[in-house]
Amino acid sequence: MMRTDGALYACAWTSDGRGLAVRGEQGVYFYEFRPGIPAQ
């Protein structure tokens, strides 16, 4: 599960398709997707 604080305005995938950058009210969030590894 991914969680952010406040509204989100924009997002962009990384060139390899495994990461996501998201811009929101509280700043920029970076997520990396690793299939097969449980979320912490």
The boundaries of the domain holding residue 17 are 1-40
The CA distance from 21 to 11, in Å, is 5
pLDDT tens sequence across 1-40 = 667 778 889 999 999 989 999 999 989 989 888 777 676 6
Contacts for 29 with CB less than 8 Å, ≥ 6 apart: 4, 21, 22, 23
Q: What is the pLDDT of residue 1?
A: 60
Nearest to 11 by CA among 34, 28, 33: 28
Q: Domain count for the chain, please give it.
A: 1
Whole-model pTM? 0.67
